Chain A
């Protein structure tokens, strides 16, 4: 599902990722962990092609990202569900519109969009906030909208950058349970987090990054 070969990424001469090589099988659940500045977000940004590597090769869902034609980038991203660390909600649109927007890109019928959006928002406990704007929501609610938007596509791959960062412990565990359930149904899930307690409670393969290097690849949190 995901293959990285000797991937390097620098920002203004400072290395964010150094020679990362790893792979994630289809249907796997993988944590990406490490301290702040370890390169977790850069790793994910490369996977959804927000950026291109300076060197190395990245293949996601059979797409070689550096060779992806401009017009195919959108098609590629529609196969992913991405939960951004800063939510990246559309501020001028309601919760309902944020969720149905991605479905409208697929030209799904209006009713189907509404149905799917309602189901996923209900799953997130946000069905009563469908007409609210993001700025009217708490941080935790905004994060759940971002998660709903990623899930509503029923993607083959979910990339989540600190998805529990603004959630209380109960909500965090509920979310992890939900991601695990989605994973059991065949979806590949990559979660970037520095929450060791969460990894311990919901153990899975864990890739550890430190100063841009891959320093661990094991089951459960690194020692």
Chain B
């Protein structure tokens, strides 16, 4: 872009004033929220959903003694299956091992907060039969399958993410609308100047370009600030959950998304550009 174009973009950014700041803040919030959400999604996928892929049935017994008896019954009824009885203390320790990020909380709970369990490793084809057999035992209060649990968790995470990303999209649409209004106001304020530029030989493209770049710059600036906020939030989260990490591409994607939202707003705002007779 020529020096004239650069100066014009600078002037427009200054002239966009409070509305421009609102657009930047909207993109910042939207992109930081989106970045945090994506990072959380990655973490959930990596740290929670990728565990326990093996099909495991967990039966909750009324007492530790019931759990030991049940383990023996399983071994007798289904020879070849691996079954283990877990005392409440063991359950507490095992859960802490699975989720080291939550271990501080888990280990502070009382032992009686945890049930006695029988854990059975089954082949997927056997899962239904074993689960039905376990449910039929009077000393079993609940039977959970790791696959069912995982499916429910995945569903819940997917719903949360969908809502979160819908909020991000709504904020980006809001940014588009604000940029649209900013550009429309600038075009109105510059109507005389635009007419003069046409009269002295400016193409539509010469006139539109600085406005498009201004819109993109507002979005880019917001996206860059959003990236910085995401990085800051990830650093803070890292202290509590050491495995939290922002995917490197996120730092580039957020400013790009912001710039695209700003450009789209500018394109729509330029619909009000007066045309030649």
Residue positions of A touching B, CB distance < 8 A: 48-52, 70-71, 73-75, 77-78, 80, 82, 84, 88-93, 97, 100-102, 104-105, 107, 110, 149
Q: Which residue of A lies closest to B195 (CB)?
A: A88
Stretch in contact with the other chain, from B36-44, B126-134, B199-207: B199-207
> Is residue B112 contacting chain A, with contact meaning CB distance below 8 A?
no
30 contacts between A and B (CB under 8 A): A50-B199, A50-B277, A51-B277, A71-B203, A71-B204, A73-B198, A74-B202, A74-B204, A74-B206, A75-B201, A77-B198, A77-B200, A78-B201, A88-B196, A88-B200, A90-B193, A90-B196, A91-B193, A92-B190, A97-B4, A97-B7, A100-B4, A101-B4, A101-B200, A102-B200, A104-B2, A104-B3, A104-B5, A107-B2, A149-B200
Q: A77 and B201: CB pair below 8 A?
A: yes
Alpha-carbon separation in the docked complex, A53 to B5 (Å): 34
Q: Across the interface, which residues of A come within 8 angstroms of B204, CB to CB?
A: 71, 74
The answer, among B4, B193, B196, B198, for a CB contact under 8 Å with A74, is B198
A74-B203 CB under 8 A given contacts A50-B277, A52-B277: yes
Interface size class of B (residues with CB under 8 A): 20 to 34
Q: Which residues in window 179-221 of B have CB below 8 A to A?
A: 190, 192-193, 196-204, 206
Q: Which residues of B contact A74 (CB under 8 A)?
A: 198, 201-204, 206
**B276: CB under 8 A from chain A?**
yes
CB pair B11 A82 closer than 8 Å: no
Which chain B residues border A88 with CB–CB below 8 Å?
Answer: 196, 199-200
Query: What's the nearest-Cβ distance from chain A to residue B100, in Å?
Result: 60
What's the A-B contact tally at a CB cutoff of 8 Å? 61
Residues of B within 8 A of A (CB): 2-5, 7, 11, 190, 192-193, 196-204, 206, 276-277
**Which A residues touch B196, using CB under 8 A?**
88-90
Which chain B residues border A51 with CB–CB below 8 Å?
277
Contacts of A101 in B (CB 8 A): 4, 197, 200
CB-defined contacts of B190 to chain A, threshold 8 Å: 92
In the complex, the chain B residue whose C-beta lies closest to that of A70 is B276
With both chains docked as a complex, state the minimum distance between the C-beta of B263 and any C-beta of chain A, in angstroms. 22
A108 to chain B, nearest CB (A): 10
| Residue with the greatest number of chain A CB neighbours at <10 A, chosen from B4, B196, B198, B201 | B201
Contacts of B198 in A (CB 8 A): 73-74, 77
Further 15 A-B residue pairs, CB within 8 A, beyond A88-B200, A100-B4, A149-B200: A51-B277, A70-B276, A74-B198, A75-B201, A77-B198, A77-B200, A77-B201, A82-B199, A90-B196, A91-B193, A102-B201, A104-B4, A105-B202, A107-B2, A110-B3
| Assembled-state Cα–Cα distance A75/B201 (Å) | 6
Closest B residue to A79 by CB, please name it: B201
In the bound assembly, the distance between CA atoms of A91 and B206 in angstroms comes to 18
Q: Which residues of B contact A89 (CB under 8 A)?
A: 196
Residues of A contacting B192 in the complex (Cβ-Cβ under 8 angstroms): 91
Q: Complex: how many Å from CA A47 to CA B201?
A: 14
> What are the nearest 5 A-B pairs in CB distance?
A78-B201, A77-B201, A74-B203, A88-B196, A104-B4
